[in-house]
A = this chain, B = another copy of it.
Amino acid sequence: MSNVEKRAGRTSRLTHVVNELCKSEHGMLSWLARGGRVLPSRDQVIEAAEALRSVLFPGYYGISELTPENMRFHVGATLDRVVGALQEQIKRGLCFECDHHGPECPGCSDKAAFITAEFIEQLPRIQHTLATDIRAAYLGDPAATSTDETIFCYPGILAITYHRLAHELYSMGVPLIPRIVSERAHSLTGIDIHPGARIGERFFIDHGTGVVIGETCVIGAGVRIYQGVTLGAKSFPLDQNGHPIKGIERHPIVEDDVVIYSGATVLGRVRIGRGAVIGANVWITHDVPPGTSVTSPA
């Protein structure tokens, strides 16, 4: 077979594969059915989240040559860039779910501008809460030598930072974007916090790999959690089609100052009372009274 024939064969096969991959009939490419509106860009969302982290902790991430004198210039320039990028992605997220037809969607555009502005104004408050988390990390880990070390290195700090940003967007009704942010944190730290979870101040997760915190969790102030802890759903009711019913409150409530050691599993809408201590690898599916200490049977 000549080279030309070989190539011709290769091309027609490649073209065939491309056509197959671009078919929408197997239902996976659902965006095609919605008129092909532009989807959010994961890379842009992740870049925005990293930039937000750098302005929440000026000097620790991003430009490390920051001085007290040039901070405002750099924080301002970064924040300004984030505003533009985030607004575009929020618009895409909104547009993706809205009923409007066609590529242009002024409603989503306006709403995205409004939400972005509101969100940006919450940053100082979020920073303030993060300051309490950092303090908690320093106090909660004998290996921590300074608060700076916790900001620089602790995966738990990264996870709670991204969560507080994602939760804010989630609360404002932004689709898709908060989940992209929280899954980024999950990928980097092994800590999986659903953006819907409500978490109080002075929150500390040590080590963190394998931690799962579900969508409808409510966590008080001063809670400390170790690696491998699951705050999950016990089971979930199905509708008449056998599909899970969305949006039911199905995850634990954890009150203030609770400590949950590594590998413990708490399932269902149970309440762990204030100051309770849950031992490692313990399995909980019922309420735990305040101040109780639950340890492994072994």
A residues contacting B by CB (< 8 A) are: 3-4, 7-8, 10-11, 13-15, 17-22, 26-32, 35-36, 38-42, 44, 55-61, 64-80, 83-84, 96-97, 101-103, 117, 120-121, 123-124, 127-128, 130-131, 134-135, 139-149, 151-155, 175-176, 179-180, 182-183, 186-190, 192, 194, 196, 207, 209-212, 214-215, 226-228, 230, 232-233, 236, 243-248, 250, 262-263, 265, 267, 280-283, 296-298
Contact present for B117 and A10 (CB under 8 Å): yes
Q: How far is the CB of A226 from chain B (nearest CB, A)?
A: 8
Contact present for B120 and A14 (CB under 8 Å): yes
Complex Cα spacing A263 to B57, Å: 35
| Oligomer copy total | 6
Contact of A209 among B58, B192, B244, B281 (CB under 8 A): B192
Contact present for B73 and A76 (CB under 8 Å): yes
Q: How far is the CB of A269 from chain B (nearest CB, A)?
A: 13
Complex Cα spacing A101 to B7, Å: 14
User: B residues within 8 A CB of A73?
Assistant: 18, 72-73, 76-77, 79-80
Complex Cα spacing A9 to B274, Å: 44
Contact of A297 among B3, B211, B298 (CB under 8 A): B298
Complex Cα spacing A187 to B120, Å: 28
Contact of A14 among B28, B79, B145, B148 (CB under 8 A): B79
Contact of A196 among B65, B143, B183, B190 (CB under 8 A): B143
Q: How far is the CB of A83 from chain B (nearest CB, A)?
A: 7
User: B residues within 8 A CB of A124?
Assistant: 17, 20-21
Contact of A180 among B17, B41, B153 (CB under 8 A): B153
User: B residues within 8 A CB of A262?
Assistant: 212, 230, 232, 265
Give me 29 A-to-B residue pairs in the complex whose CB atoms sit less than 8 angstroms apart, sorted by A's number. Answer: A7-B67, A11-B69, A11-B70, A14-B70, A14-B76, A18-B73, A18-B75, A18-B76, A21-B75, A26-B127, A26-B128, A28-B147, A31-B59, A70-B80, A72-B76, A73-B80, A74-B77, A143-B214, A144-B246, A153-B182, A192-B207, A207-B212, A209-B211, A209-B212, A228-B263, A230-B262, A232-B262, A267-B280, A297-B298
